Structure 1
Amino acid sequence: MGKKPFIIGIAGGSGSGKTFFLKCFLKHFTTDEVCLVSQDDYYHPVAQGMTAEEIALYNFDLPQTIDHEHFLSDIEKLMNDETVYKKEYTFNNLNAVPKILEIKPAPILIVEGLFIFHFKGIAEKLDLKIFIEAEEEIALKRRIKRDFEERGYSREDVMYRWVNHVMPAYNEFLFPYRDESHQIIVNNTQQADEIILVTETISKELREKVLDSK
């Protein structure tokens, strides 16, 4: 590639719709044009030796649960045109067999996660910071739906995590960086067209600014 990639940081609290935003955004580019590195794949392993009950109570919503040095190191490798190989995170599902992810460098590098603005070494490398937010009631409904359908958590488990882990972490480690972001996207709607339109606008600007200028 030669030139440093354009690095986009995308952060949002649980239930903000960050995953859907990313899905829509990535559809505008080929795999040669953009690559994605996710904070979720850099949790320190804790499942070994823990029971399912202990895992259910463990607070994953803290910066120290992330191996941010490894995270930063892999971002720098991608910046230096090196391919990264990383074991995927399986959300401490003891029965899941993790895949090895191959992340190839590209002109646009997306870094996403809850703490990416909090980790100074990572935040300093971001050319564009996008903050995605939703009203708490809407975000909670999305979280309950996801955790019940995809992870088998009860409503009680979800509410415990929300009150004791999720919201305190959001308020301390993400929300303070909201006004430092270059773009704030409010995602309270259930209408996919609105988010698709936002991603179209951003991707068009990036194509003109980053890809067509190379």
Structure 2
Amino acid sequence: MNKPYVIGIAGSSGSGKTFFLKRFLDHFRPDQITLISQDDYYIPANTKTKEENRLYNFDLPSAINRKSFFHDIKQLFSGHTVYRKEYTFNNPRTIPKMLEIKPAPILVVEGLFIFHYEEVNELLDYRIFLDAAESVALERRLRRDLIERGYDHDDVIYKWVNHVIPAYEQYLVPFKSKCDLVIINNANDPKIIDDAAREISTGLKPA
């Protein structure tokens, strides 16, 4: 199998990255594109107590099984299918699925640290950065974590101030100016995301 065309997508928490990914992938057939997400490589923290989990910083490069993440990307490069248990952010109400990640001509790699990890960054052919104003991003983060993941409000705020923002500034912002495309998503307008996804996907589809 020839080397896939690799798109790296990273963004601040609450930037609309998940929505963009869904819209982008919808422009392709399953055999044309595949996605590997850094989130599914978190080092398990479900053995920790509630207080330890509150203090444990998931927004550090060391919270990810970096070696395994890179290994599986290279497996896709070699034409091998990757099997990985979905990470559910320690939500006891969610049963993790076994993900089957098949190789394809276009590989999307997404995650907070994909530009920071040199071995991953050097594999990328195109880099997309999604961003949003801090107040907008925090509102989205609260809505997601309180409703979808069942987190406590105080925990969300604590992690935002002490973990999320410092990680964003240290591991993501320095790469913003080096990305091929920066999408500012403050308006909660799906058209902004749809238009960007359509434009990029049109340029990648075979004639």
Shorter-chain TM band: over 0.9
Deviation at 1:144, TM superposition (A): 0.8
1:73 lines up with 2:71 in the alignment: yes
Q: What is the aligned partner in structure 2 of residue 18 from structure 1?
A: 17
Deviation at 1:179, TM superposition (A): 0.8
Distance in structure 2 (CA, Å) of the matches to 1:95 and 1:140: 23
Pick closer, same or farther for the CA change 1:167–1:78 going to 2, 3 Å.
same
Deviation >4 Å, runs of 4+: none
Q: What is the aligned partner in structure 1 of residue 157 from structure 2?
A: 159
Deviations 1:18-41 (A, max 9, x none): 001001101101110000000000
Q: What is the aligned partner in structure 2 of residue 9 from structure 1?
A: 8
- Determine which of 130, 139, 142 is the counterpart of 1:141: 139
Distance in structure 1 (CA, Å) of the matches to 2:152 and 2:96: 24
Calculate the TM-score normalised by the size of structure 1. 0.93
* Structure 2 stretches lacking a partner, 5+ long: none
* Structure 1 stretches lacking a partner, 5+ long: none
Q: What is the aligned partner in structure 2 of residue 41 from structure 1?
A: 40
| Aligned counterparts, 1:154-193, within 5 A | 154-193=152-191
Q: What is the aligned partner in structure 2 of residue 203 from structure 1?
A: 201
Amino acid aligned to 2:65: D
- Determine which of 46, 69, 81 is the counterpart of 1:83: 81
Calculate the TM-score normalised by the size of structure 2. 0.96
Indicate conservation of the 8 Å contact 2:91/2:150, yes or no.
no
Identity of aligned residues (%): 54
Amino acid aligned to 2:169: N
Deviation at 1:54, TM superposition (A): 2.0
Q: What is the aligned partner in structure 1 of residue 53 from structure 2?
A: 55
Distance in structure 1 (CA, Å) of the matches to 2:97 and 2:201: 29
RMSD: 1.2
